[in-house]
Copies of this chain bind each other. A is one copy, B any other.
Amino acid sequence: MKALKVSARPGLPRRNNIPQILNAAEKVFSARGLAGSRVDDIARACELPKANILYYFGTKEDLYRATLERLLMHWLDDADHWLSADHAPMDAVEGYVRSKMEFSRYRPEASRIFAYELLSGGEHVKKFLVGTLREHVTRRTEIFLHWQRQGLMAEVDPVHFLFSLWSLTQAYADMQVQMAVVLGTPRLKEKDFEAGVRTIMKLVSSVCLPGK
């Protein structure tokens, strides 16, 4: 009923196949979500028989969760690096925004899977949300409050300010289709992301340079 347990000494094919499957799964799930994706499509995308995928991961849902987990591990690294008290607020936020925008540009699939997941209720990431993410937000909040006490940041709600940064940057992954059509280009180019960064930084400037 459940997936086979990973053996103690993983074989070579396993080590080759698993990342390949996860990459393919990320691509397919990001395009249609869990419900809209077919194991068959993932199989074709990684050029492996369908049965092999289920052999490694047991069920489609298990594979989905594995994909999500791998993705969420990378998720918070940038914030941990940039949104720290080591930087001045404006530098910190600019570094953060730029790295998130690069993420939206070069790995939009990851962002989209997460977006799908949230839209459909987030049951598969609830543990991550209440555990890791909440803790992460608490730490960022403390840094923002620290800056505010020092007069380096305007008195905005720190949590909602973080929400703003998330939504502004993720939109460049999740709404790419809409943006591309509006901008009249088949897909977003470097200059579009650059214009996005400039706009976001302009908005942020009222929070990070209160004394200006």
A residues whose Cβ falls under 8 Å from a Cβ of B: 31-36, 112, 115-116, 118-122, 126, 129-130, 133-134, 137, 154, 156-157, 159-161, 163-164, 166-168, 170-171, 174-175, 177-179, 181-184, 195-196, 198-200, 202-207
Residues on the B chain within 8 Å of A164, using CB: 168, 171, 199-200, 203
Residues on the B chain within 8 Å of A179, using CB: 163
Q: Whole-angstrom distance between the alpha carbons of A47 and B131 in the complex?
A: 39
Q: Which residue of B lies closest to A173 (CB)?
A: B119
| Contact partner, A129, options B121, B161, B181, B196, Cβ 8 Å | B181
Given A160-B195, A164-B168: 7 more A-B contacts, CB < 8 Å: A115-B119, A115-B174, A133-B181, A156-B199, A157-B198, A163-B196, A203-B204
Q: Which residue of B lies closest to A138 (CB)?
A: B182
Q: Whole-angstrom distance between the alpha carbons of A169 and B182 in the complex?
A: 18
